[in-house]
A and B are shown apart, each in its own frame.
Chain A
Amino acid sequence: MTRTSKFLITAASLAMAAGLAACNNDPPKSASAADSNDVIAQYKANPKYADFINGDKISGYVFASPETQAMQDDEFENPGMLAVQDGEAEWNKVEGAAGKSCASCHGDAAKSMKGVAVTYPKYEPKMGKLAALEHRINLCRTEYMKAPALKWDSKPLLGLDAYVEYQSRGMPINVKIDGPAAPFFEKGKEFYYTRRGQMDIACAQCHEQNAGKNLGVENVSQGQSNGYPTYRLKWQSFGSLHRRFQGCNQEVRAQPYPRGSDEYTNLELYVAWRGNGLKSEAPSVRR
């Protein structure tokens, strides 16, 4: 079959599928808004997902395949727990000129760090801006341990991040957007609704307007951050939310910002706020 005839057949079948008399350049409208609402309604009605849905907020877990969900459900099978294990070792490791470890000040993380991670990102007076949990960990290191800051997405920082997040697993996300955090929240919101890249797409167009529809083989999620840091199957490794932001930005063919940048930290606050009330699942497993 020649390429031309194949194209004609494809075009003809698309036109039929879309119920169009003539073929034009518009994509076939196979997934209408009603379809995606149906999918969302089905998720909401499924008692299995009760823990992963809060009102209109739906965790990325719900959009994942049953196999991926099973990997997350079993703490043994969840490869993210390897990062938590690393983090526990880091927590107790003495580093820096002050001769301290995290545990020297904070003691047992299961007590001192319970409920901490769900309040991040948060305004940090010492930095004069918003701090993600990773920033806060590095602040502790440079300020109190007199140790060098860790690189974003390096194994020790991811481990610590995962370990601290793990202490809040199952607790509702609860970030504050008033007071000194307000201007940063506004910047994050602006980022979310700004079209960017060659594809000229904003976060909102996929994750707000089209969540529940299919994009290729993906079921587009609401882009909730309650599972991060996450073990992502595509990466075959554990990674931060900012790494995921970079991936999204690259997909719309925009220049990504560096991990840990102000832009992404502000966005992280806005995205976290969209999921306020969803239970923290870190370390989660995502596709």
Chain B
Amino acid sequence: MADVKPRIRVPSEAKKGEVIEVKTLISHPMESGQRKDSKGQLIPRKIINKMSVTYNGKTVFEAKLEPAISANPYISFYMKATESGEMAFAWTDDDGSVYKATQQIKVA
């Protein structure tokens, strides 16, 4: 789906050991698979079923998403900034596509 856009907000600089808030939002319809269209046909399920975040290659956050989660899922979490490096975000869709985003953090 071309119009799925991830948005992330992570402080670009942090002190060593500081706890930072990571915010993410992704545009996605999160079709539950339980709704019917105007003809009474079931609309096939299409949700983001997994989200994972790595920090310099190490997984720091992982979430399994379910059909009851509303459209445009917003997920935020806290983590401790230990070293400079790259955070990589990945959302996995039911159809197998993976939406990705990355963000650099400078830890002083």
Q: Which residues of A contact B (CB under 8 A)?
A: 76-77, 79, 81-82, 85-86, 155, 233, 236-237
Contacts and interface: CB of A to CB of B under 8 A. Distances in A.
Of all A-B residue pairs in the complex, the 6 with the closest CB atoms, nearest first, are: A236-B71, A79-B72, A82-B27, A76-B9, A236-B70, A76-B23
Interface of B: 3, 5, 7, 9, 23, 25, 27, 29-30, 70-72, 74
Contacts, number: 29
B74 A79 contact: yes
Contacts of B74: 77, 79
A267 to B, nearest CB: 27
Contact of A82 (B30, B70, B72): B72
Contacts of A233: 70
B29 to A, nearest CB: 8
B38 to A, nearest CB: 15
B25 A82 contact: yes
A237 B9 CA distance: 22
Contact of A77 (B3, B5, B23, B30): B23
Contacts of A155: 3
A82 B5 contact: yes
A237 B71 contact: yes
Nearest to B27: A82
Given A82-B5, A82-B7, A85-B5, A77 B25 contact: yes
B44 to A, nearest CB: 17
A236 B74 CA distance: 13
Contacts of A82: 5, 7, 25, 27, 72
Contacts of A81: 7
A155 B29 CA distance: 13
Contacts of B30: 236
Identify whether the interface residues of B are mostly helix, strand, loop, or mixed. loop
23 contacts: A76-B7, A76-B9, A76-B23, A76-B25, A77-B23, A77-B25, A79-B25, A79-B27, A79-B71, A79-B72, A79-B74, A81-B7, A82-B7, A82-B27, A82-B72, A85-B7, A86-B3, A233-B70, A236-B30, A236-B70, A236-B71, A236-B72, A237-B71
A236 B5 CA distance: 16
Nearest to B8: A76
B105 to A, nearest CB: 17
A79 B3 CA distance: 14
Nearest to B73: A79
B76 to A, nearest CB: 8
Contacts of B27: 79, 82
Nearest to A236: B71
A86 B74 CA distance: 18
A111 B61 CA distance: 41
Nearest to B30: A236
Contacts of A76: 7, 9, 23, 25
A11 to B, nearest CB: 36
Contacts of B3: 86, 155
Contacts of A79: 25, 27, 71-72, 74
B83 to A, nearest CB: 25
A233 B23 CA distance: 19
A155 B9 CA distance: 24
A157 to B, nearest CB: 14
Nearest to A76: B9
Contacts of A77: 23, 25, 74
A155 B71 CA distance: 15
A236 B72 CA distance: 8
A85 B26 CA distance: 12
A166 to B, nearest CB: 15
